[in-house]
Structures are given as C-alpha cells and as structure tokens.
Amino acid sequence: MTGGAGFIGSGVVDALVARGHDVVVLDSLDPAVHPSRPDYLNEGAAYVEADLRDDDALAQALRGVEAVSHQAAMVGVTAGFADAPRYAVVNDVGTALLLRAAIEHGPLAGRRSPGHRAALLPRREVPRSRARRRRRDQLAWSIRRVSTAALM
C-alpha cells in the first residue's frame, strides 16, 4: 500500500489488516502533512518510511507482495501553482516508478513489458470492440485523475 498514512490509505490499511492480510505500507510521512508520526497508524502493518521515487525503498516494499493499492499522492498545494511542477514529479513520476518497480520486483514481476496491454489487463470474454472502448475509457479516466491530482 502506498500512501497508507493518508486519509484514504490509512482506512484501507485498517480494513486489510482487519481481514487478516499482511500489509506493507510505503509512505513518505511528509513533514508538511505529518509533523510527527501519526498515532493512528495500524500496528498490524509494516511501515517503510520513504519517498515513492526511491527505487531501493520500492524494491524493498514490493518484495514478496501479491497486490499493490496505490494511494500515495502529494497533497495540499499551499504555494499555488508555483509548486505545480513538484507535484507533477512526485505524483506522476512516482506512479510511473511504482509501476516499473512492480514489474521488476513486485506482483507484476516476470510479465511482459508495460507497453504490452497483456501485462496489465486481464483477458475477458468480451467482444473486442466493447473491450477496447472500456480500456480507452478507463485509461482516459486514469489520465484525468492523475492530471487533476498533479494540479491540486
């Protein structure tokens, strides 16, 4: 779980631990958001305090995991759009690095290149044109979500 100390991520961590899952959380615990270690962190999860752009920390956190829930994002633009490039790097590049690490070390290890749709999308018994439309719509939603998150 990335961003497991955040508002949404911490709730997901709690739910996963309550269901008996072993949870590894990667979170930077950015001092601008968390001046000290939050007391609500779930003691049933393992925490890796590191930036999403840290390749070694990603490899460590992903070793042996079966799935990834990506909730990490830099939040709270306080300086207006002057910080927009930094938010884009942390959020967008961080997501790309997570995907690469998942392919190299995590649940997608051994799959074909990320450019090949079979690496990420499950096969379904859906007519080809409907499946293509659905993937296009999902990709468009993801791009809008990432673009919006980078500007906030």
CATH number of the domain encompassing residue 135:
3.40.50.720
Stated pTM of the model: 0.69
Per-residue pLDDT of 4-32, as tens digits, reads 999 999 999 999 999 999 999 999 998 88
Helix, strand, or coil (residue 6): coil
**pLDDT at position 62 over 80:** yes
* Residue 102 placed within a domain: yes
Please tell me the predicted confidence (pLDDT) of residue 16: 95
Lowest pLDDT segment from 42-46, 58-62, 83-87: 83-87
* CA gap 100, 143 in Å, rounded: 17
34 is a domain residue: yes
Number of domains in the chain: 1
pLDDT-derived band at 33, boundaries 50, 70, 90: confident
Q: Which domain holds residue 65?
A: 7-151
pLDDT of residue 117: 45
What pLDDT is stored for residue 5 in this prediction?
94
1 occurs within a structural domain = no
| In a domain? residue 2 | no
Q: Answer yes or no: are the C-beta atoms of 57 and 51 closer than 8 Å.
A: yes
Q: d(Cα 137, Cα 150) in Å, to the nearest integer? A: 20
Q: Residue 39 domain-assigned?
A: yes
Predicted pLDDT of residue 132: 66
Distance CA 27, CA 151 (A): 20
pLDDT in tens, 96-121: 999 999 888 888 776 655 554 444 44
Residues 6 or more apart whose CB falls under 8 angstroms from that of 86 comprise 74
Q: Tell whether 91 is covered by a domain.
A: yes
Q: Is residue 121 part of a domain?
A: yes
Distance of alpha carbon 65 from the chain centroid: 14
Whole-number Å distance between alpha carbons of 58 and 121:
22
The token duo for 70 is 């990506």
